[in-house]
Amino acid sequence: MEISAQLVKQLRDRTGAGMMECKKALVEANGDLAEAEVVLRKQGIASASKKATRSTKQGVIGNYIHAGAQMGVLIEVNCESDFVARTDDFQQLVKDLAMQVAAADPQFVRREDVTAAVIEKEKEIARARGIAEGKPEKILDKIVEGRLAKFFEEICLLEQPFIRENTTTIADLIKSKIAKLGENISVARFVRFKVGGGAAEQTAAE
């Protein structure tokens, strides 16, 4: 069945779960908001957002070297305890995130890390494109908003579709691990090396 964006937003506001997870839950619940919330609670995802403010002082530095050794990634992923940091689930998450950075080349961890100058420049480009395409002035703001959202999806790690499952975002992938492991998990920083291209580094905002 067709699930409206408004319904997805309502569920997200009620649970704090990610957009993709909310949509999946609503599909499973045939559009029933209350039942979808139960689905998320059973999965533990709705409670994951409540852990987001917990301090993450443990974790590991993960790495990925692409075949041919022409590109590599270092990434710091944090959790609350060294016990969770040593689990297979956490270690696999770190590997997946390192591969994501290698394959999708994000420039920032999250959209809040994107500088105001970069955002304004992207808005300027999007508006100019809209004008060049002959879009009516009254809808230019909406067009800019839509293209900016797509821009964030391309350059922010947490908003990118997961390379192994493109119906899931990286943020939702991490939330699913938080739900499973019972601890907050965060990406602190990453650096992507490419032979001949220097290193592109991003550190999450404190």
- pLDDT for residue 138: 84
166 and 187 together in one domain: yes
Q: Do 32 and 134 fall within a single domain?
A: no
Same domain (yes/no): 106, 61 = yes
Per-residue pLDDT tens over the stretch 70-105? 999 999 999 999 999 999 999 999 999 999 999 999
Residue for token pair 């080349």? 105
Residues 189 and 103 in one domain: yes
**95 and 131 co-located in one domain:** no
Is the same domain home to 161 and 100? yes
pTM for this model (two decimals): 0.71
- The answer to whether residues 62 and 99 belong to one domain is yes
Domains: count for the chain: 3
Res 151: pLDDT: 93
Residue type, 159: E
Q: What is the CATH number of the domain that holds 14?
A: 1.10.8.10
Q: How far is CA 14 from the centre of its chain?
A: 20
For residue 96, the domain's CATH number is 3.30.479.20
For 93-146, how does the pLDDT look when each residue is reduced to its tens digit (9 = 90+)? 999 999 999 999 999 999 999 999 999 999 999 989 889 988 888 888 889 889
Higher pLDDT, 15 or 100: 100
**Contact between residue 112 and residue 206 where contact means Cβ atoms under 8 Å apart:** no
Pick the more confident residue, 21 or 30: 30
| 42 & 15 share domain | yes
Predicted confidence band of residue 206 (pLDDT cuts 50, 70, 90): very low
30-60 residue pLDDT tens? 888 888 888 877 766 655 555 656 667 899 9
Q: Kindly report, residue by residue over 190-199, the tens digit of the pLDDT.
A: 999 998 876 6
Domain extent at residue 62: 54-110+156-203
Q: Say how far apart CA 37 and CA 25 lie, in whole Å.
A: 7
At 41, list the tokens: 């609670």
What pLDDT score does 205 carry?
A: 46
